[in-house]
Amino acid sequence: MRNNCFTYIICCFLLIHFSCTTQVKVSKDEIIEQKVDSLLKLMTLEEKIGQMSQIRHFEANVDEDVSAKFIGSIIHTQGPNPGETALDWQNRFIVLQKKALSTRLGIPMLFAVDAVHGQNTFNGATIFPHNIGLGATQNEKLVEEIAKITAIESQATGFNWVFSPCVAIPFNEKWGRVYEAFSESTELTEKLTKASIKGHQGNLEDSNTVLATAKHFIGDGATDFGIEGGETSLSAKEINQILLAPYKVAVKENVGAIMASFNTVSGISMHANKALITDTLKVGLNFKGIVVSDWQGYSRFGKNDIINAGVDVVMAVDGNLVGFQEGLREGVKDSTVSMVRIDDAVKRILRQKYRLGLFENPFPDPSLIAKIGSKEHRAVAKQAVRESLVLLKNKNNVLPLSKETKKIVVVGEHANNSGLQSGGWTINWQGSYENYKGATTILDGIKKLSKGEVVYDQEASQNHFDADIAIIVVGETPYAEFMGDIGHESNQLQLTLSETHQKYIKTYQEKGVKTVVVLVSGRPLVVTDQIEKSDAFVAAWLLGSEGDGVAEVLFGASNFLGKLPHSWPKSVEDFKGKYGPNFWDKSIEPLFPIGFGLKH
């Protein structure tokens, strides 16, 4: 009997041990998938369509619509009204989030913003150089740190989703969004795409991280003649070899979303391009995140065709909500849109909300507000300015400047205006033409470092020809999207400097004053003559809020580290083809090759 009891005990022990040691550990991703499937089974068609809907937070009836129409996400598009604080923004989004949580299933919302170079919609945030400047740094660790800071300051103002980074490969400097992309180099773009997504997303459940978005899928920067939303006539092989690589990196980094592009490929709108969105991106690359439309994508690019192509979230803005929801509901009713497609879209949306931990922590963290525009954040932005500057010419080692220089004249409105130095997507969609909160200018930095006399001659009209050095700051005025296309009817932009800015340079050069030209632009411009006649020439790109970082390099506190992220064109005639000279005719020699950059 004793032996039987002992045998029984041993058998029980072995059974328990076997059960424990063979228990399969369920991963976090598997748990999320189980939660998604369980929640999806409870949802009505109305609730599913609501999750696919994205509206603006200040549209008419938005508070009512959030709960009544089960809205899944909010997009914020413009800077704050005067007097609004970050806490005001948080509180506004908390009100809307509580509306979403009050619905039958209590699904939290995503709050999205175009934070493309810092949380650039908030006056007082840290604004970094645009991506073209970050491409000039070639510094992936810096790009990752910038993305981390952008995530913190975005969360501090109430957002958990950013429409960044842009991973386009620009083929033509006429395109109005060249500055949003890192480089014309696929390899460099891959490297910085990885860094940006890592920085933005980190551990997504943390309160200081956000969902990132790779954009715009695909061919946005490679349209014929650089037209925003134009035709991308590259072959499938060329698209795969040149343009798809950064998206492969983004998917590998588990990016939360990818935004569809305005352009067409082989005559088919990218929003409605099932072969590329579903077959290539979702199936071929195994992308598990959200495909989000661009502005008014539903009404502009084929309505339910874009849903069937694989778009999951629709920017149903500017009065388009009713048309989208009713149109999609009718599509399901008449079987032109399958419930399988609807369920796929909603699963992708819920998956990211669970990854972000929104069901447990749906509200922004007020303790992050103190970090907006902090000294530490601005120090990183200033480092980015320093490392992004590319020295194209330095005749007779005129740079670095001596702090003991007796008299320096600083010329040009761009030298004393943080709005002009920052470009588009700064406070406002099309940028700003005036100084904004917390920013420093190039002139501020020169005055701070120089021990001699510094005078400011904004329009080269004060005849300070006795100056030892003229620092002449010229460039483009702010623009964004199609309004930045060279040749577009909405602007007078050109591939060369304006006559006014050429005059600034000539005024001092013709009087024999040594000239250091600083070019503030969103793309390489044809400035061959100006470079030839200047003593030193610096490509400064679009600097963001820390303009005084330029002076630190001019005066030698730091050396020039930037390398050209694009080849630099020699002549306007080089742009007669549908692509820029580096792409359409390899026999055209650039003024400077990609990767060029001097030190002083």
What pLDDT shows up at residue 84?
86
Number of Cα atoms under 13 Å in the Cβ half of residue 239: 19
Of 114, 294, 413, 548, the active-site residue reads 294
Please tell me the CATH code under which domain 45-371 is placed. Answer: 3.20.20.300
What pLDDT shows up at residue 484?
96
Cis before 218 (ω within 30) = yes
Q: Are the beta carbons of 524 and 531 closer than 8 angstroms?
A: no
How crowded is residue 139: how many other Cβ atoms within 10 Å of its Cβ? 21
How far, in Å, are 129, 144, 550 from residue 399 at the CA level?
23, 31, 12
What pLDDT shows up at residue 77?
84
DSSP 358: T
Element housing 55 (H / E): strand 53-56
What fold is seen in the domain 389-584? Rossmann fold (3.40.50)
Q: Are the beta carbons of 314 and 299 closer than 8 angstroms?
A: no
Q: Are the beta carbons of 323 and 299 closer than 8 angstroms?
A: yes
How crowded is residue 84: how many other Cβ atoms within 10 Å of its Cβ? 15
Edge-to-edge strand order for the sheet containing 268-269?
231-232, 264-265, 268-269
Distance CA(356)–CA(336), nearest Å, equals 33
Distance CA(250)–CA(238), nearest Å, equals 19
Give the domain ranges of the chain. 45-371, 389-584
Q: Which residues pair with 409 in a beta bridge?
A: 455, 470
Number of Cα atoms under 13 Å in the Cβ half of residue 4: 1
Distance CA(244)–CA(547), nearest Å, equals 34
312 is catalytic: no
What pLDDT shows up at residue 314?
98
Pairing state between β 264-265 and 268-269:
antiparallel
Q: Which amino acid is at 436?
A: Y
- Which has the closest alpha carbon to 242: 572, 597, 578, 582? 582
Token pair of 331 as six digits: 């599509």
Of 228, 481, 485, 535, the active-site residue reads 481
- Which has the closest alpha carbon to 101: 143, 133, 67? 67
Distance of CA 70 to the CA centre of its chain: 28
What pLDDT shows up at residue 83?
66
224 is catalytic: no
What pLDDT shows up at residue 57?
86
Distance CA(204)–CA(206), nearest Å, equals 5
Distance CA(188)–CA(190), nearest Å, equals 5
Distance of CA 335 to the CA centre of its chain: 37
Residue with tokens 């792409």: 583
Q: Which residues of the chain have a pLDDT value below 70?
A: 1-24, 79-83
pTM of the model: 0.94
What pLDDT shows up at residue 491?
87
Q: Which residues pair with 32 in a beta bridge?
A: none
Contacts of 195 (CB under 8 A, 6+ apart): 140, 141, 143, 144, 147
